[in-house]
Amino acid sequence: MSITVVNSVAQLNSLTTNPAAVSVIDFHAVWCGPCKAIAPVYQKLAGQYAGRVQFLKVDVDQVPDVAQKFNVKAMPTFAVLRGSAKVDEMAGANPAGLSALIAKHAPAAGAGASASGSGSQDKGLEGFVSLNSEIDQSQVHCLNESAEHPLKDMLRGGDDKWLESDADEQLLLHIPIQQSIKLRALRFTTNSSHAKHAPRTIKVYVNNPGVDFDAAEGGGAEAAQEIVLDEEQARGKKVVELRFVRFQNVKHLSIFVADNQSGGDEDVTRIDSLELVGLAVEGTNMSDLKKLEDE
């Protein structure tokens, strides 16, 4: 998703007319070193939350009226709006803090930009939020993925991006997390026109980045949970709830997809999106801070 540069108060007003939509504004300046350092993080989050959060940028020197409207006193400052009203803000170049700020207010995947509250809206998941911003997308990988439709593309999002298996219906997703999370649920989505290709039986492993197909199939690695997805769960209409007590300190998530909804008739498994739902464990992403200090 592109980031919209705001050049006037009038333009900002026109972009924030929907009272339920969530927007984030990056108040920055060309002379501000920390602003430049955190810009790639902001860009990455814009892609991660495409279609759910509107990302805006305001140069405080070029558009002082907008900066004054929100009483901006330091750069960078990130303001969160619901409609045209500011509901939260954060000052400073803190990647972990920025990720947490946006995750706090972003509608869950599938809820769209018109979600009326923050976090997941599924029954029983009140107070939990999407944690996809905590995924270390540079390190994710998937065994038996199609070269044309890999896991990394699927996580970036978009109608033309999905994860697809290669030689047979099995997949083994390895998802490193930037900082520890408490995982409450997963949401798999597969387009209804490919319902037979949606995942069915999955095993979920916590903090076991070395698990391979042999260990997953033969039981050489102990799964935190094994689940058979029904049709609604496979299409994203309903989340896959996890045994929360087993997912309290997740730093690496592995998901083994054993088969798909076709019952053996289709060799290809397809996942259009995957959402992690839970809570971030309080802490600081030291690797991101180090990158900023090195700038």
Catalytic positions are 32, 35
- Show the tokens assigned to 82: 């619901």
Q: How many residues does the chain have?
A: 295
The DSSP-derived string for 173-240 is: EEEEEEEEEEEEEEEEE--GGGGGGSB-EEEEEES-TT--HHHHHHT-S--SEEEE--HHHHHTSS-E
| φ/ψ (deg, to 5) at 9 | -65, -40
DSSP 8-state symbol, 68: H
- Contact by Cβ (8 Å): 92, 61: no
Distance CA(76)–CA(78), nearest Å, equals 7
